[in-house]
């Protein structure tokens, strides 16, 4: 069943069109990789799906579980199950990771009409989840991403993904700034969260990440459009031939 349907999406930033009619369908349980050179509009797509301010959608639509996603506020989208793992997770000094997780989780539950977690229930849940991802408790006491290494920041994103249980995870250049060990740890976390109901959209420059997170479908983006889609072999092909052949497509 289609989870995310992007139809002929046109997006502008400050009068300049970045996406020129992009179409993409992601079904439940699928892993899609979106590859493409710098400036092809990969991050724009992820931001527009998540609802970041500053982008103007001039045409097309995005349906999420059949509903008009663009009509929802960004926090509503989060509560509906859209999760964006950021390329550069921000630091929030003075706010402990634990407090942040609880505030966010309860905000989402409230928006869905579920009861908020009590402190003991929340602590139990967060301990379970962090243990399954091998995340030390100590990290939860520190300020959100404050003084975290690149790897720790990405693991914090994975932890949130596990805790919030979204149905669509968009990983925006998750491999940037990670060494090979950190990359493997983060990718293992993502793989552990893959399920028949949960879809992943992996945005990356490099084929490297796809050795760890194996996609069902690979899309090549160029100049604001999806110019080619194929199976996982397409990524390998790109690795050897580069993006140049698609630049003029």
Partner 1 sequence: MPAVQETVERVKRIDVDQYRYGFETLIESDKAPKGLSEETVKFISEKKNEPAWMLQWRLEAYRRWLTMTEPTWARVDYPKIDFQDLYYYSAPKPKKTITSLDEIDPEILKTYEKLGIPLREVAMLEGVEPKPGEEDPNRRKIAVDAVFDSVSVATTFKAELKKAGVIFMPISEAIREHPELVQKYLGSVVPTSDNFYATLNSAVFSDGSFVYVPPGVRCPMELSTYFRINERNTGQFERTLIIADKGSYVSYLEGCTAPQRDENQLHAAVVELVTHDDAEIKYSTVQNWYPGNSEGKGGIYNFVTKRGDCRGNNSKISWTQVETGSAITWKYPSCILRGDNSRGEFYSIAISNGYQQVDSGTKMIHLGKNTSSRIISKGIAAGRSQNTYRGLVTAHRKATGARNFTACDSLLIGDKCGAHTVPYIEAKNSSATFEHEATTSKISEDVLFYCIQRGLTQEEAVGLVVNGFVKDVLQQLPMEFAVEAQKLISISLEGSVG
111 or 214: CB nearest partner 1: 111
34 or 79: CB nearest partner 1: 79
Residues touching partner 1: how many (CB under 8 A)?
29
Stretch that binds partner 1, among 33-41, 75-83, 184-192, 231-239 (CB under 8 A): 75-83
Report in angstroms how near the CB of residue 106 gets to partner 1 at its nearest: 8
Reading phi first (left if > 0) and then psi (alpha if -120 to 50, else beta), residue 159 is in: alpha
Contact call for residue 202 and partner 1 (CB under 8 A):
no
Q: Burial letters for 166-186: b for 16+ Cβ neighbours within 10 Å, e otherwise?
A: bbbbbbbbbbeebeeebbebb
Chain-centre distance for alpha carbon 122 = 24
- Rounded CA-CA distance 83/139 in Å is 21
Stretch that binds partner 1, among 33-41, 59-67, 79-87, 120-128 (CB under 8 A): 79-87
Whole-Å CA distances, 160 to 98, 136, 224: 11, 14, 30
108 or 130: CB nearest partner 1: 108
DSSP string over 178-216: --HHHHHHHHHHHHHH-BTTBEEEEEES-SGGGGTS--S
Stretch that binds partner 1, among 91-99, 114-122, 133-141, 178-186 (CB under 8 A): 91-99
Which residues contact residue 180 at a Cβ distance below 8 angstroms, ignoring those fewer than 6 apart?
A: none
Query: From residue 112 to residue 141, what is the string marking binding to partner 1 with x (rule CB under 8 A)?
Result: ------------------------------
Rule CB under 8 A: choose which of 36, 41, 51, 224 binds partner 1.
51
Rule CB under 8 A: choose which of 9, 31, 34, 105 binds partner 1.
105
Encoded tokens for 170: 């968009």
- Rounded CA-CA distance 177/211 in Å is 17
Q: Which residues bind partner 1 (CB under 8 A)?
A: 50-53, 73-75, 78-79, 83-84, 86, 89-95, 100, 103-105, 107-108, 111, 143, 160, 164
């Amino acid at each position: 069943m289609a989870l995310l349907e992007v139809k002929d999406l046109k997006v502008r930033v400050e009068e300049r069109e970045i996406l020129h009619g992009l179409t993409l369908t992601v079904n439940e349980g699928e892993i899609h990789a979106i590859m493409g050179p710098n400036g092809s509009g990969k991050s724009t797509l992820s931001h527009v799906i998540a609802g970041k301010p500053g982008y103007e959608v001039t045409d097309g639509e995005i349906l999420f579980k059949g509903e008009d996603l663009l009509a929802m506020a960004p926090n509503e989208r989060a509560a509906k199950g859209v999760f964006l793992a950021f390329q550069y997770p921000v630091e929030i000094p003075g706010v402990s990771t634990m407090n942040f997780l609880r505030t966010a989780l309860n905000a989402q539950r409230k928006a869905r009409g579920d009861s908020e977690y009590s402190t003991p229930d929340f602590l139990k849940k967060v301990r379970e989840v962090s243990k399954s991802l091998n995340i030390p408790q100590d990290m939860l006491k520190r300020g959100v991403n404050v003084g975290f290494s690149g790897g720790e920041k990405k693991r914090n994103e994975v932890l949130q993904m596990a805790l919030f249980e979204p149905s669509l995870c968009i990983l925006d250049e998750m491999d940037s700034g990670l060494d090979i060990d950190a990359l493997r740890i983060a990718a293992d976390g993502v793989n552990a969260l893959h399920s028949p109901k949960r879809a992943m959209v992996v945005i990356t420059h490099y084929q490297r990440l796809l050795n760890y997170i194996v996609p069902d479908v690979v899309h090549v983006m160029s100049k604001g459009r999806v110019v080619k889609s194929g199976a996982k072999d397409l990524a390998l092909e790109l690795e050897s031939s580069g993006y140049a052949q698609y630049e003029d497509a």
